[in-house]
Structure 1
């Protein structure tokens, strides 16, 4: 089953903003907290080429971080990506 995944840390303001936007869209997402988890951070780096959070996937579509999520929203493309999750 396809899902929305977001990798976060507890106090990251960008993670909080990204989760807020997803919640405002009334979609469920699976959060992976990588606070203090070196193995998870290494996996994230290998998968995305970035060690920063948040890192977001909508189904098989890799979004990137908070800025990219909000760019999708501003361009009107986010709702179509989220449609299958509502």
Structure 2
């Protein structure tokens, strides 16, 4: 199973929604809380080129925020990303 990472802030409803979605799918993920950690926030912005949370990564592929995640799931793209990264591991 590929590594799924999600950058979050504790008070963010979009972060909660993305984590719930991944949980409902039975997917384990590594949560990286950036609320009070400038270094981790900078890491997130460097990786994603975005300053908003959540930011979801599957392996080395940037999925995006919660809206991007939901859209990728609806279109079947998220499953393809999971499969491509499973094969890459």
TM range (shorter): 0.7 to 0.9
**Gaps spanning 5+ residues in structure 2: where?**
none
What's the counterpart of residue 24 of structure 2? 24
Corresponding residue pairs, total: 84
Report how far residue 48 of structure 1 moved: 1.5
**Gaps spanning 5+ residues in structure 1: where?**
none
Query: RMSD of the alignment, in Å?
Result: 1.6
The 5 Å alignment of 1:62-81 reads 62-81=62-81
TM-score normalised per structure 2: 0.83
Write the distance in 1 (CA, Å) between the matches of 2:80 and 2:46: 28
Write the distance in 2 (CA, Å) between the matches of 1:61 and 1:48: 10
Contact 2:2 2:82 in 1 (8 A): no
What's the counterpart of residue 55 of structure 2? 55
Write the distance in 2 (CA, Å) between the matches of 1:78 and 1:38: 29
Q: Deviations over 1:5-50 (max 9, x none)?
A: 0000111011001001100110110000011111111221122211
